[in-house]
Structure 1
Amino acid sequence: SEADEDDALRSALSTAHGPVVAGAIASSYQWSRLSRIADELDRRVYAPLWGKDGSIVVRAEIDAGLDIRMIHLSAEPLTEELLGLRLDLVLLAELERRSREQRRFHPAGEGGEFETLVVDAPFFDRRIALDETHIEERGGARRLTVDRAHLEAKPASDGPRAGGAAA
């Protein structure tokens, strides 16, 4: 429920220190919930992507080397064959085409049209390997559920950059 999600967010923010950094781009719903709870806890929120063009943000993530996978689809033009695919420049162009031609949706999924999972990035020590997955469907939405995964070593040349964090 929304109340449970608020409680979980409140709990997480109350144990952390410093400002809260949010990846929200255009979702007023996300922003208002986070801001309200942060205000309750006297915490500052920094949202560097807020108001940016979603396509530009996704392109920057792809260009930065993030391995982003499509794991949840709820907008009508987004079909099951997209689940598990890597969000690369070709797929981004296809999403933009479907958004223009079939039904408008945010290119970064900010309206809940889709969700993603980052399984690798230059700043990860190890990548997340998805061993077993299955697809669930509820109310017209489809989700790729990860049943089993493991962390996998990366070749030395793919290791984290200075100051990087583990997955």
Structure 2
Amino acid sequence: MQDRVKSSLVALRRILRATEGSARALARETGLTTPQLMVLDHLAERAEATPKTIAQSVGVAQATATALIEKLEARGFVRRRRGETDRRQFWLSLTPEGQAALEAAPDPLQSRFAEKFDRLADWEQSMLVASLERVAALMEAADVSRSGEVAPLLHAGEVDEAHPEARDRRGPNGRN
């Protein structure tokens, strides 16, 4: 029985390592986090988008999307303009610098995962989803997903961190 526990923990650790390795490679090559890359990708698929549609597409809270957008705007990757009919609304678009950063980025882990997952039979997809949900419950992670703050992306840190290395600068309570 302990062999199965050990095998399960090793498999989880391999997933974590793949996630962390992907985030490091992305940060090293582009200086972006996975969530920032997803925002750029969303904008590349459209001429313009609002922060609300970006939040929905990326799967984060609107406040988190706003933080991501502000960091991308500060780097010159995103352009913001006020709505013409509603001046309170902002429209965002990708700049040429943002497009170049997106093109320079390695293929994100979740894209490779989604591509392979989509090729699985329906029964196998259902089995994997059920198993992963059960693992989350065993790890008492179910309450986290109910808050609505869990984005559908493979990223080890906070979704609005500027860089994965920011975790290293946190204090003892886990905050900056």
TM range (shorter): under 0.3
Give TM-score, length-normalised by structure 2.
0.26
By relative contact order (CA 8 Å, sep 6+), the higher-ranking structure is: 2
User: Is the strand fraction higher in 1 or 2?
Assistant: 1
